[in-house]
């Protein structure tokens, strides 16, 4: 992974960690994924000391859980993130027996739209935003309902 971060061309990109849900604690997915996210952020910062990382979101979908870390996304604005669907290069980090990282250009637009929808649904919830699809997802205070 260190070699990837040293040779990757884009200065701004999204890293999606694909983690088997079975290795996470079902009572608290967020807490149990944090060591993986922290390790990824530390790896980025070790190879790119000036890089700014932001843990944006976690989506739990049946057998896989996906966390999203922005790297050097200086244009990110929490207040308008529900409106922004700007494509940013996506790299998927598959965390399994054989760790792999690959560029996924087909996910650039798709992930931007998913994140905008999550920001819309979660209203003013703090980052990271968490959607757990192992049960019904309910948004208590979506941004569209603001006075």
39 within a domain of the structure (yes/no): yes
144 within some domain = no
Closest CA to 86 of 101, 95, 74, 102: 74
Residue 146 lies in a domain: no
Q: How far apart are the first and last CA of the chain?
A: 46
Whether residue 90 lies inside any domain: the answer is yes
pTM for the model stands at 0.91
Number of continuous H segments (helices) and E segments (strands) in the chain: 3, 6
2 contacts: CB under 8 Å, gap ≥ 6: 43, 46, 47
The number of folded domains in the chain is: 1
Output the tens digit of pLDDT for each of the chain's 147 residues: 666 666 666 689 999 999 999 999 999 999 999 999 999 999 888 888 889 999 999 999 999 999 999 999 999 999 999 999 999 999 999 987 788 899 999 999 999 999 999 999 999 999 999 999 999 999 988 997 655
């Amino acid at each position: 992974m260190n070699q990837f971060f040293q040779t990757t061309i884009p200065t701004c990109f999204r890293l999606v960690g694909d983690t088997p849900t079975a290795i996470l604690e079902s009572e608290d997915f967020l807490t149990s994924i944090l060591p993986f996210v922290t390790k990824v952020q530390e790896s980025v910062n070790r190879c790119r000391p000036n890089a700014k990382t932001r843990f944006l979101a976690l989506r739990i979908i049946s057998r896989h859980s996906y966390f999203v870390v922005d790297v050097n996304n200086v244009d990110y604005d929490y207040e308008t993130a529900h409106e922004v669907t700007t494509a940013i290069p996506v790299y998927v980090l598959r965390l399994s027996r054989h760790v792999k990282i690959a560029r996924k250009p087909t996910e650039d637009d798709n992930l931007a739209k998913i994140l905008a929808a999550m920001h819309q649904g979660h209203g003013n919830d703090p980052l990271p935003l968490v959607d757990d699809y192992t049960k019904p997802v309910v948004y208590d205070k979506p941004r569209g309902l603001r006075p």
